Amino acid sequence: MNRRSRWQKIKDFLTLPLRALCIFEGRRWGLSSIKSERIEYAAREVRGYCLDVGCGKHNVLINDFLDGNGIGIDVFAYEGLNQENIVTDMTHLPFPDNNFDSVTFIANLNHIPVNDRDAELAEAFRCLKPNGNIIVTMPSPFAGVLIHKFVHWYDHIFGTQYDVDTIRGMHHDEEFYVTDQEIRQRLKKAGFSKIIKKYFFTQWGLNHLIMGSKQ
Ligand SMILES: C[S@@+](CC[C@H](N)C(=O)[O-])C[C@H]1O[C@@H](n2cnc3c(N)ncnc32)[C@H](O)[C@@H]1O
């Protein structure tokens, strides 16, 4: 697993505003990107064979953090994905029951149309083995709105393509964030229990994850 040293975490903590303003993927100037950081926090909680829903470009969680131990799926054919990564209807996953040790939704529950969220979480529950866990990461409302708007305007001004939502074309029902209350309620409704929250220290607590278990 691609884990940061303690010194790296201290540098990342102290430089959060710089890292948030100078958008980059991977590593630059000896600093971690916001994206790789959130994926690392999620990866730490993975229990084994993993399904990453909404994996995004290059299937980073599975390829770079879990040594290929899992499957990343997305609705859009981003760079670095192939046919086996594409699932256009996430409310009917092409996997058997009790197949994965963990299912992750990293920075993407808000991008799932509101009316499909329960169905997608129910599918995650079905595909998980007993004692498997679900990991949902989500920025705070403040960070969620700010980052989405900032990345959008950054691409507009500098001609870059960091905004994966614009590349894909956002559905009108997507949002900038989902509240903790909504995540907890939907996880319970899907059947998950032992729901807990953990903050991302090196993102000043502006990002966090919520986890639940299939008992
Ligand atoms: C902000 S990106 C996050 C990508 C990656 N997980 C990461 O952390 O960098 C949101 C992802 O959700 C995906 N997505 C869009 N609609 C979805 C849906 N209905 N179900 C699951 N994922 C969806 C997008 O294609 C996109 O890859």
**Which are the contacts of 158, defined by CB distance < 8 A and separation ≥ 6?**
none
Is position 44 within any domain?
yes
**pLDDT in the model for residue 22:** 82
Q: Return the structure tokens found at 82.
A: 């192939």
Ligand 1 centre to CA of 107 (Å) is 7
Ligand 1 centre to CA of 56 (Å) is 6
Q: Is 112 in the pocket of ligand 1 (CB under 6 A)?
A: yes
Beta strand spans in the chain (E): 27-28, 31-32, 50-53, 70-73, 100-106, 128-139, 193-199, 207-213
Q: Has this prediction a pTM greater than 0.85?
A: yes
Residue 143 sits in a domain whose CATH number is 3.40.50.150
Is position 9 within any domain?
no
Is position 102 within any domain?
yes
**pLDDT in the model for residue 1:** 64
Specify the pairing of strand 50-53 against strand 100-106. Answer: parallel
Give the strands of the sheet with 207-213, arranged side by side: 70-73, 50-53, 100-106, 128-139, 207-213, 193-199
Best mutation site among 64, 75, 117, 120 for ligand 1 pocket (most ligand atoms within 8 Å of CB): 75
Ligand 1 centre to CA of 120 (Å) is 12
Specify the pairing of strand 70-73 against strand 50-53. Answer: parallel
Domain that holds residue 200: 40-213
**pLDDT in the model for residue 24:** 78
Is position 7 within any domain?
no
Is position 23 within any domain?
no
Is position 201 within any domain?
yes
Residue 120 CB burial class (10 angstroms; 0-12, 13-18, ≥19) = buried
Report the number of distinct structural domains present in the chain.
1
Is position 85 within any domain?
yes
Q: Whose CA is nearest to atom 16 of ligand 1?
A: 112
Q: Which residues of the chain have pLDDT under 50?
A: none
Is position 2 within any domain?
no
Q: What's the CA gap between 192 and 182, in Å, rounded? A: 14
Q: Whose CA is nearest to atom 15 of ligand 1?
A: 111
**pLDDT in the model for residue 158:** 87
**pLDDT in the model for residue 165:** 78
